[in-house]
Amino acid sequence: MPLPSDPLRKLGFLTIGLFDGDNPAQGHESTLEIIELGERLGFDSAWVRHRHLQYGISSPVAVLAAASQRTSRIELGTAVIPLGWENPLRLAEDLATVDILSRGRLNPGLSVGPPMHYGQVKSALYPDTADTEDFSYDRMERLLDLVRGKPATDFSGVEGFEVFSDRVQPHSPGLGRRMWYGGGSLRSARWAGEHGMNFLTSSVVKAEESEDFAEIQLSHIRAFRAHHPDGDRARVSQGLVVIPTDSATAEQRARYEEYAHKRMPRTATPQGPARMMFAPDLVGSSEEIAERLYAHAAFREVDEVAFALPFTFDHDDYVQILTDIATELGPRLGRPAVG
């Protein structure tokens, strides 16, 4: 097995947080328990997805506020919040509040563009402004400015017994350096670099200059760093679905392999008009997965990862997968096991 020239610096994981619509509390509790487990296992970060109008986490910031009170060390991220669903000023207030509550552990990941199925949701989301809403990068710039402390109004001072600020409160000074852009195209990679964000590479990318997933992801990483003030030191976190089977039962292994097999056809060629490419799921022993990662051109360019947990597995499956990542795969990537 080839050895990395530099050990993995940050080991993270991503969960979707599914729940039963008839018992949503159980699914949310499972997500919080998984994040707590991640901290005990020594993970550096835990990330949650969003799922609006679905049976997954619809309010990742609220979930991470709860997680911040049940953990003390692990960094907490969103991957990603689609900004088209949000008011930048209100979101800036929520992000800063959770960052304060977590003592500086929040890593907000975001993206721009119209909300999914916008034609069906716009009358509920923006009943009066649906046709004039701006879903471009300008919306992200507004959020960045507000998080980084630029004035939101020209009014401040005392009015009666109330004191008003001209910028978002609370203000969390370090949060502006921990804003991430989740991108799947060269344009988004360049934009994130130019605006001093960190970059989350996705397991879904746009086939622009190649139809090889690793080459595409590598081109995004290099484009991002070429346009970032920090150059090669700019932070990039790679996202892939990773399912180690070291301690899995025979039944679990069979389910994991079937899951990956069903998703494999979409990884062969670009999908749809946007020519989206999907990364293959990595299933096998930690030794096998490590070998595949070291052979991955984009993995060799990063020292941070947020391995994605599969969508539809059970709580016990996630416990097994996370435990194997921490105790078996992590050490093979240069991360010593905890305990």
pLDDT in tens, 289-321: 999 999 999 999 999 999 999 988 999 999 999
Rounded CA separation 184/221 (Å) = 10
pLDDT at 111: 98
Give the global pTM.
0.96
Q: Is residue 7 predicted with pLDDT exceeding 90?
A: no
Average pLDDT in the 278-296 region? 97
Q: Is residue 275 predicted with pLDDT exceeding 70?
A: yes
- Give me the chain's average pLDDT, please: 96
Question: CATH top-level class for 10-152+165-332?
Answer: alpha beta
pLDDT at 339: 61
pLDDT at 224: 98
